[in-house]
Chains A and B, each alone.
Chain A
């Protein structure tokens, strides 16, 4: 049982929650995730740790409502208890003080997982350039937190409602055109965004790390649901990742596997919406 301490709605479909979880907060490191279940009949939902306070004993999650489980989570309120909350899971990001600049690219809900990595890198004395983007201004999350966690912050929206108009990979290319002193980059967002942004970075010879979000069940290496192909080899994203070298990831396979249950998901979501309305 883990209590929801604070809930905020950041856009029509994006929510943030602080969850009371003392020991998880103490152990959490950038790049790791948790798995929660809302109620006894619920499924295991993996979510990245967006922030954590070991002093105050909470973990922040930021999620987008995309189906039944995230919808039900969004209906829960401050003071409610989650049925289950486990973490931190996955291998933490490997962070150090780099010689050159580090670039953090976050797309949509992917800004949430980019944040703790950027924050830590900056604390370590890095020059952190963050490029964050979303479809439109309303969906652009964590601007203030990213501002604090970055040395430079560049904003982009697909429709130009805020910052540069265009996709983050284009913004990245423009940046790399001028700036050669770059050591490494992290790119997190929807798989399609990661796929193209990795290609953009590679054009300029910049090494990339991506965080993969395949469908998971246990999240501890027990089931193999989360298999991804990296460098031609099968890896379990929950224990071998979720971060991998972007150049080696088979994004097409990832995208295909994420769609395994589209029909079932639709059925469950519709039933749930109908029940809630009734």
Chain B
């Protein structure tokens, strides 16, 4: 058991770094980049926590993780205690510890942030979850409850929103069923976020734990075709729509249907869900470009470009229409990309994909941009510089400019209002839609956002469903 250190020492001590695979090594494999904390690292980091009460960090976590409580148990090497503390409110700790934008959430709210040294909450959460998995620790048993056991809840989509909602409801004793369109549960966690940031075995494990708590997960089950939301409303006491924002955007520029042009969703789905990086051991192919351009500046673009590099691209290039400061991707992701030798064509927009005589991509025609007046979002609006066109010789182009709402679910849901972009209209605090038996949350309400916001939305909906059904 490690000691509690004095406040003065807490302020002095630096954030404990986490070891990473070296850039030149990691671009040759799909293994995770950060290697995780050792027990010593975790204790050293945990000792820095001021154990605030009330704790500002908790307010920054949409999953309400009991942060100081679990951190305190880490100092005592009480992994099980720490794990159960986290699991009280968050069903996906190994996932969240890895992919939450902590700088905007818990760590952004931590009082030590003011000193520029927030507690590495995400890394600690990851450490506890990984250790618990190694030790095969059991979750707390869900409460058996006669009042809730006979109430049936249907959830559409097994992404973070659906899984979080299911976990909270099953803990209250409800009979919960998730319907998932793909052959594996996890949503973007399983098909979108690459293996080197979030190993699929970890997602699989956390999903399995949710299943073990008693949640029924039917994969290969597309709501809108096999059953409509209208049918679910008939058969269940409450329905939670968490089908994500999975429909890729394209520019509509000439040449976009040439062979070698992908949406980021297709490229990443082939590589992650279908494991095309392991072709031909796995059957799904992917075009391994030598020179790959990824258009976009968000996390998805970073994931695609780093995947391209690992698939063997000599040149993997981000093409983004604004400058580096406006890039929406997390700073950490951009830094990782830079370290891996990703090139950046900033203030650049594509105008045309050029093909060869066989219909394969051979170049991307671009135009240079400059930043003009700020737009509604406060970011300076990019404008084309006339006559500045140039071409990049590439053999694969990946479009990573965002997702839209997929209409299949909404089409089958009578009385559930959508907005002009096709997203469900739902109350921010409760997830209630315009239909009294239907709740919605996650990307299908907010548009593409984050894992932890989706988890938060799932939890709010679970709470509201419970309040409604038990009143």
Contact = CB atoms under 8 A, between A and B. Distances in A.
B266 interface: yes
A163 interface: no
Contacts of A147: none
B287 A88 contact: no
Given A218-B182, A222-B248, A223-B269, A42 B257 contact: no
Contact of A225 (B182, B225, B266): B266
A49 B283 CA distance: 23
Contacts of B408: 220-221, 239
B246 A222 contact: yes
B256 A260 contact: no
B265 A223 contact: yes
Contacts, number: 114
A43 B274 contact: yes
Interface stretch (A96-104, A148-156, A196-204, A251-259): A251-259
Interface string A61-85: 0000000110000000000000111
Contacts of B407: 221, 239
A256 B247 contact: no
Interface in B403-425: 406-408
Nearest to A256: B359
B257 A37 contact: no
Interface in B217-266: 219-222, 225-227, 246-248, 250, 252, 256-257, 259-260, 262-263, 265-266
A261 B262 CA distance: 13
B257 A257 contact: yes
B281 interface: yes
A39 B248 CA distance: 28
A248 interface: no
A136 interface: no
A268 B279 contact: yes
B216 interface: no
B274 A27 contact: no
Interface residues of A, number: 41
B283 A218 contact: no
Main secondary structure of the interface of A (DSSP, over half): mixed
B80 to A, nearest CB: 32
A42 B265 CA distance: 19
A178 to B, nearest CB: 40
Nearest to A264: B285
A267 to B, nearest CB: 6
A86 interface: yes
Given A23-B226, A68-B283, A220-B406, A86 B221 contact: yes
Contact of A234 (B191, B220, B256, B259): B256
A226 to B, nearest CB: 9
A224 interface: yes
B26 interface: no
Nearest to B288: A264
Contact of A224 (B182, B221, B226, B248): B248
B183 A84 contact: yes
Given A234-B252, A267-B280, A224 B263 contact: yes
Contacts of B225: 27, 32, 87-89
B270 A217 contact: yes
A37 B246 contact: no
A164 interface: no
Interface in B271-292: 274-275, 279-285, 287
B470 interface: no
A44 interface: yes
Contacts of B227: 23, 27
Contacts of A24: 226
A150 to B, nearest CB: 28
B283 A86 contact: no
Contacts of A69: 283
Contacts of B266: 217, 223-225
Contact of B358 (A221, A227, A256, A267): A256
B370 to A, nearest CB: 30
Nearest to B287: A260
B265 A222 contact: yes
B181 interface: yes
Nearest to B246: A222
Nearest to B180: A86
A265 B280 CA distance: 9
A225 B280 CA distance: 20
B247 A222 contact: yes
Interface of B: 181-183, 191, 219-222, 225-227, 246-248, 250, 252, 256-257, 259-260, 262-263, 265-266, 269-270, 274-275, 279-285, 287, 358-359, 406-408
Given A27-B227, A86-B183, A218-B269, 15 more contacts: A41-B275, A68-B283, A83-B183, A218-B182, A221-B406, A222-B406, A223-B248, A223-B269, A225-B262, A229-B257, A239-B407, A239-B408, A257-B257, A257-B359, A264-B285
8 contacts: A42-B283, A43-B283, A44-B183, A87-B226, A224-B266, A225-B266, A234-B257, A264-B279
Interface of A: 23-24, 27, 32, 37, 41-44, 68-69, 83-89, 217-218, 220-225, 227, 229, 234, 239, 253, 256-257, 259-261, 264-265, 267-268, 271
4 tightest A-B CB contacts, nearest first: A264-B285, A223-B266, A86-B220, A84-B183
